Amino acid sequence: MHLKRLRQHQLRFFILRGCRDGSVIQPEENRNMNKMWGFIFLYILGLNISQATGEDPSTQMYYVKLRIDKNNIERLNNWLPSSLSNPTWKVDEFHPTTTCKDMAGKRQCHCEADHRWTDKVRQSNSKGCAGNTCTFPEKSHTCVSNSTVRLRGSIRIQGPGYHDCLRDENSQEYQSCHTKLLNKIQEVYSTLKGFDFLNITKYSFGSIVADFGVTISKSMSPQDLIQKSENLITALNASLNLETQGVVSLTMPDNPVKYDSQQQLLCTSKEDLGTTAVWRQKKDNKKEYPITNGTEADITFSTRSSTLTLKKISATWEGEYTCVFLQKKTSLDITHSARAVMDVALLPNIFITAVPEFPRCLNIDDVLNVRSKCLIREDNENYTVTWAGPTMEGKITPLKADYSPEEAVHQAEAAVTCHPSDPNLKPEITCTFHNRLNQSRKVSFVFNIIYVGDGFCEADGDWRETKANFTSVLQCKNADGLRQRKCSIECIWEPEEEHCVNNDVSRLLHSAHDVDIGLGSLNENAAYVFDRLRYVTNNSMAINTVSNVKATVEVLDVLSDKQGLRLNGSGVYGFLESSSNLMEKSLEKTWIEKKDDANVSMAETYIHSVEKLMKVSNITANNIQKNIELATCDKKQGSGCTNTAFGVTVDFDSSDNDSVATAGFKELQKYLPQSDEEYEVNSIVVMTTTQKNHSGSVVVKMNFPLIRPRPRNVKIKCVSWDYEKHQWSSRGCEWMGPDDDGHCVCSHLSSFAILMASTLLHQAVFLFHKMSKKVYLRFYIILGYACPLLIVLITFIASSGGAEGVYFTKESCWLVYSGFFRIPDDRSAAKSVMRTVTLLTPIFGVTWIFGFGVTILDLSSGIAAPVANYAFILLNSFQGLFILLTTYLGDNLTRQALLNHLKKRASVSDSSTTLDSKLSK
């Protein structure tokens, strides 16, 4: 029987507890109870007792084992005295703890009321324990009180008084120091009622640090523990960290718990500890994570308790839970904790396939053997797998499962016929996984049989025979995802679509989704994901596929949408480096992908995610990566703010104070879709963000170095990315003209770039600049040959049908030109020359003044350029008219000759008319 004894001064107060488990320490059977208690009394007198030196009584627990006949157990309980004492000590509170009996070479033990098995006993003998009863192979264990409190302490002692405790354990100095410190600690904690055990487990440097453990077999007051501990700190001039187990209790749901269920965990304290509980979880002896409010966890608090509600139980929530109340005093930290384990009955994600995937019939009477496979990731759940196939015409035979460290493959065989009784009813097989609580998850596979006469694609490498107009599906090798290839209706293989994602990237994407479920701090979880993402993306060859880059961008997208996220330090660095790694030139081809249903390109998702993450990043200094350069400045009221990234200078101004960050991206301009074919991106992409939204207007002035120099007469647009229209937009941005090609001013924050026209402006207004060569030739022939021919024909007909002397002369073999020219006389020659020079000089000079404007002014420089161009073209087009008006019509001889010619033709016409009139009479 275990006995528990308390001491006051020299054994004033004792508590003794008893246990009956069969060990032979006392006589095998003593029917005289008075003799038994006399023996116990003499045993107590022989104990070497130490006592506290203060006024509080010192206590000690003692345990005694008795073997008695089971018929005397009830008599023993009746004979237990209420106390044993003498003038210096007292034995009190006898309590049976454990009852054991021998059973066929084993020992079955049961805990008495208010007692339990320790977690260590249950874990080491998990199959042999059920409730309060455990069966042991040989040596049994002892139950402990439900109110037992265990202390683990670490005391740091200042001064040289205990330096010898760091000496060799076998030395006399160590033994003396160890005993001295042990007694000092025991003098304090033995005054706690129910004191059972104390030992010092380790000494270490840092002044003198001693780790110790204390067991108190009775509930105690936390305030009393604080008082005792403060006394110890004062006595040893030390600081102390204590952890208790037993002061608070943790109530858990019965194990195992259902998958996808909602569960509540309750942590309570018997007294108000003046603080709130902190929840933690540890899985597989790995890192312990704090539990916070999240999408799957909700914590509520009251005065002496805290409730953790888990909204959706999954494998993530399986593990050991700790509830902690922390009390802090000067030089004293006390952590009151309770621990318990949650076991989850899991359900798997299943991938089903068949071999062959498309069974082919050679003859109408064939019966084909097919094998179906259900693959799951290996976990600790012991699943029961069943197979069903209501539409299968043959028996389904389960096969032995194949297990590996990573996955489990469950298989079954069945038969399908090539002449089904119902052609519209396709053979279908279903595998169902049942967990320990009989929850189930199932998946089905439909056999699309290639019947006699059906078209199909021949096997090609990994791809087996596939029915026409169907898609064959394969699992990715050493990666997550699927490979798909369609056999067209014409029985031609289409290109393979690969959706394979690197295992590391896949795990990171899963972790990104889980950062805010409540397991761990959101910010710390995100920083960890970014740190891992930085490591994964450093090896560009490992992610050099569209699927990998898309999944990596999705990690950024998922994290950027997490509410309450704030990145600091390593989180910011990991985010920037991983974002830079995605811009590597070696990944250029992986950014060419189809737009999704939302019409959002991968590059737009990337830049939008980076923009949102920059807004929640605590950026305190410039950061230069290979493909991203980040600059930051603080905008003070009344002053501007200037950043520079990859040579792009950004001046920011607004009425508010704020932190302004500017990031420049290499290569990104190649990936963002450009819908306007007349313009090409001619700068890197630059993003400017602020920590807060500005109430007033903002002015962003940017000076871009152009990738390609702007040719003369080529227009430029300053643009920002429009997330609603998914394209570049010039709204809110203005180009400052050709005097400074890369200078832009915008009135909002976004991602900016410069677009340059792909053609010259004169081509943009020339009507025929996009005509084909055939059209050009037709136009040239009409203008160069048809028009002159028409002029010649008209002249020929008007000159009496080309008569000699009227149209041509034989002497000169040339056209008759008499009457077309007026030869001036000698007297007026000088005068005519002077008049010609005087008149032609302004006519030609004024028009060519605008010609100089055309050569000097750029067509993109504003209204002056088109005015000069149109004026030059119009004035030069009418030069012939101006020459006619000034030179010919302004010359007296020319006017006189023209008038004489007109009068002569009029006189001939009048004579002809008179003659005709006379003849008619």
Cα–Cα distance between 671 and 767 in angstroms, integer?
33
pLDDT of residue 87: 66
Which tokens belong to 303? 């005065």
Tell me: pLDDT of 316 over 60: yes
Query: For the residues 850-865, what does the mean pLDDT come to?
Result: 64
pLDDT above 70 coverage of the chain, percent: 80
pLDDT in tens, 517-563: 999 999 999 999 999 999 999 998 999 999 999 999 999 999 999 99
Cα–Cα distance between 352 and 354 in angstroms, integer?
7
Number of Cβ within 10 Å of residue 801's Cβ equals 9
- The confidence band for 450, taking pLDDT boundaries of 50, 70 and 90, is very high
Full-model pTM = 0.76
Burial 20-58 (b: 16+ CB within 10 A, else e): bbbeeebeeebeeeeebbeebeeebeeeebebbeeebbb
Query: For the residues 562-572, what does the mean pLDDT come to?
Result: 92
Strand positions, DSSP E, 758-903: 808-809, 814-815
3-class DSSP assignment, residue 32: coil
DSSP string, 50-109: ---SSSSPP--EEEEE----GGGHHHHHHH--SEEE-SS-EEE---EEEEEEEETTEEEE
The residue type at 119: D
Query: For the residues 16-44, what does the mean pLDDT come to?
Result: 43
Which tokens belong to 397? 């035979």
More confident residue, 808 or 49: 808
pLDDT of residue 827: 55
More confident residue, 53 or 840: 840
pLDDT in tens, 77-110: 666 565 566 666 677 677 778 888 888 778 888 8
pLDDT of residue 916: 47
Tell me: pLDDT of 583 over 70: yes
Element (H, E) at 374: strand 367-377
More confident residue, 767 or 101: 101
pLDDT in tens, 874-887: 777 777 777 777 66
pLDDT above 90 coverage of the chain, percent: 49
Tell me: pLDDT of 770 over 60: no
pLDDT of residue 874: 77
User: Taking the chain, what is the end-to-end CA distance rounded to the nearest angstrom?
Assistant: 171
Sign of CA dihedral 163, 167, 170, 171: negative
pLDDT in tens, 393-428: 778 999 999 998 889 999 999 999 888 777 778 899
Number of Cβ within 10 Å of residue 147's Cβ equals 17
**Contact between 289 and 281 (Cβ < 8 Å):** yes
DSSP string, 295-353: SSEEEEE-SSEEEEEESS--GGG-EEEEEEEEEEETTEEEEEEEEEEE-B------EEE
pLDDT of residue 889: 64
- The confidence band for 268, taking pLDDT boundaries of 50, 70 and 90, is very high
Sign of CA dihedral 77, 82, 86, 88: positive
Specify the range with the lowest mean pLDDT, choosing from 273-277, 375-379, 736-740.
Answer: 736-740
Which tokens belong to 880? 């012939």
pLDDT of residue 473: 94
pLDDT of residue 913: 43
Distance of CA 711 to the CA centre of its chain: 43
Running DSSP on this structure, what letter comes out for residue 569? T
Domains detected in the chain: 14-145 (no CATH), 149-245 (3.30.70.260), 248-342 (2.60.40.10), 345-453 (2.60.40.10), 455-503 (4.10.1240), 521-618 (1.25.40.610), 633-770 (2.60.220.50), 772-818 (no CATH), 820-921 (no CATH)
**Contact between 4 and 16 (Cβ < 8 Å):** yes
Mark residue 219 as left, alpha or beta (left: phi above 0; alpha: psi -120 to 50; beta: remaining). Answer: beta
pLDDT of residue 914: 45
Running DSSP on this structure, what letter comes out for residue 415? E
Could you give the angle at the alpha carbon of 632 between the alpha carbons of 628 and 633, nearest 5°? Answer: 160
Q: What Rg do the C-alpha atoms of the chain give, in angstroms?
A: 50
**Contact between 632 and 661 (Cβ < 8 Å):** yes
pLDDT of residue 119: 77
Cα–Cα distance between 708 and 494 in angstroms, integer?
40
Strand positions, DSSP E, 112-230: 115-116, 129-130, 133-136, 144-145, 149-157, 195-205, 208-216
pLDDT in tens, 283-310: 888 889 999 999 999 999 988 999 999 9
Burial group, residue 290, by CB count within 10 angstroms (0-12, 13-18, 19+): middle
pLDDT in tens, 676-698: 888 899 999 999 998 887 767 88
> What Cα–Cα distance (Å) separates residue 296 from each residue in 509, 521, 855?
18, 13, 71
Cis peptide before 356 (omega within 30 of 0): yes
pLDDT of residue 31: 40
Q: Which of 358, 347, 354 is nearest to 385 (CA)?
A: 347
Specify the range with the lowest mean pLDDT, choosing from 496-505, 582-591, 750-759.
Answer: 750-759
- The confidence band for 918, taking pLDDT boundaries of 50, 70 and 90, is very low
Tell me: pLDDT of 72 over 70: no
* Adjacent-strand bridge partners of 307: 266, 300
Burial group, residue 425, by CB count within 10 angstroms (0-12, 13-18, 19+): exposed
Specify the range with the lowest mean pLDDT, choosing from 31-35, 39-43, 223-227, 683-687.
Answer: 31-35
pLDDT of residue 912: 46
Mean pLDDT of all residues belonging to the chain = 82
Cα–Cα distance between 292 and 783 in angstroms, integer?
84
Query: For the residues 210-224, what does the mean pLDDT come to?
Result: 90
Q: Which residues contact 593 (CB under 8 A, 6 or more apart)?
A: 546, 550, 601, 602
Query: For the residues 490-494, what does the mean pLDDT come to?
Result: 95
Cα–Cα distance between 641 and 633 in angstroms, integer?
6
Query: For the residues 166-181, what does the mean pLDDT come to?
Result: 93
Query: For the residues 775-786, what does the mean pLDDT come to?
Result: 78
pLDDT of residue 829: 62
- The confidence band for 890, taking pLDDT boundaries of 50, 70 and 90, is low
**3-class secondary structure for 257-289?**
ECCCCCEEEEEEECCCCCCCEEEEEECCCCCEE
